[in-house]
């Protein structure tokens, strides 16, 4: 059973930076893909950024140029550096990884204040 352990959420002022980290515990091998999703009340989870086993990265349009995902799906650890944060970046951020199926972390709250 894979457990995704997240850290790094919190409260930050608009324009500031925050880094989220995620580590997979109990994984038998490399993940096919690791990523971060954001969810706000009343909406489903949306992809923020992901990194594949090949190293290929993918970003939401809203994240491009401001957010940077790093780490390795081979080592099952990733970080998300978030810069120039905006009010609309507020939400619960979930780490997700794909092995035999998709696994999810418990989520970490990111709140951007004016």
- Dig out the tokens for 3 from the structure: 């457990």
Query: Residues 17-40: pLDDT tens digits?
Result: 999 999 999 988 889 999 999 999
pLDDT confidence tier of residue 14, bands split at 50, 70 and 90: very high
- SS3 category, 105: coil
Query: What's the pLDDT tens digit per position in 36-59?
Result: 999 999 999 999 999 998 889 999
Q: What angle do CA 16, 23, 59 make, to 5 degrees?
A: 50
49 beta partners: 36, 59
């Amino acid at each position: 059973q894979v457990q995704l352990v997240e850290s790094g959420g919190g409260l930050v002022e608009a324009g500031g930076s925050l880094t989220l980290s995620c580590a997979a515990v109990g994984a038998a091998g490399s993940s096919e893909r690791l990523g971060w999703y954001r969810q706000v009340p009343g909406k489903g989870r949306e992809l923020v950024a992901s990194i594949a086993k090949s190293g290929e990265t993918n970003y939401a349009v809203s994240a491009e140029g401001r957010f940077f995902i790093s780490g390795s799906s081979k080592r099952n650890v990733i970080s998300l550096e978030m810069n120039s944060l905006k009010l609309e970046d507020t939400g619960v951020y979930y780490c997700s990884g794909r092995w035999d199926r998709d696994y999810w972390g418990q989520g970490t709250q990111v709140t951007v204040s004016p």
